[in-house]
Amino acid sequence: MEGTALLTRAPADTKINQEMGRISQTIKVDGQECWTLFDTGARNTYVIPSVAQVLKTSTTPRAFRTALGGEVKETNTAAILEAEIEGHPITTHALVINDIGSDENGKPIEILFGAPAMQQWGIVPDEERLDLTHYPEEFIEF
């Protein structure tokens, strides 16, 4: 397989904010399309409660506070996000918060996909698309 085999053109609904290393597009969670912001500046991944309803969730031993969208938000619920990005399955840890905010066009964000999850799954925001050329077919641990 050639190195650019997974470099795909962005879906028609993809929105790009190149200055901030952000791309917004839909991903599938349990067959449901969810508006997702891929943010290279975010340390964590977040989902809203309507997405978390179809995920395995758990209560955390203590509340987590995060500054997001100009507000401090708090949660004590975590989830295992199992989704499909352009046909590629991913699984990652996410925190459940009531409201992530809206993108620059006012569309509500349902999932904020943070930098560690992007690194784990080889996802790179690249101009007008997500570069999935580094998506792992298998994990090799040393």
Q: Write the pLDDT tens digit of every residue in 62-91.
A: 999 998 878 899 999 999 999 999 999 999
* Number of separate domains in the chain: 1
Length of the chain: 142
**Span of 1-5, 96-100, 108-112, 121-125 with lowest mean pLDDT:** 1-5
Question: How confident is the model over 25-32, as a mean pLDDT?
Answer: 96
The structure's pTM equals: 0.80
Confidence of residue 18 (pLDDT cuts 50, 70, 90): very low
Residue position matching structure tokens 């399955």: 89
State the pLDDT confidence band at 2, using cuts at 50, 70 and 90. very low
Query: What's the burial of 138, exposed, middle or buried (CB within 10 Å: 0-12/13-18/19+)?
Result: exposed
> What's the pLDDT at 126?
73
113 assigned to some structural domain: yes
Tell me the CA distances in angstroms from 54 to 26, 29, 57, 98, 102, one per residue in order. 16, 8, 9, 15, 22
Examine residue 141 and state whether it is found in any structural domain, yes or no.
no
Q: 133 near 7, Cβ under 8 Å?
A: yes
Q: What is the CATH number of the domain that holds 40?
A: 2.40.70.10
Whether pLDDT at 56 is above 50: yes
In this structure, is residue 7 part of a structural domain?
Answer: no
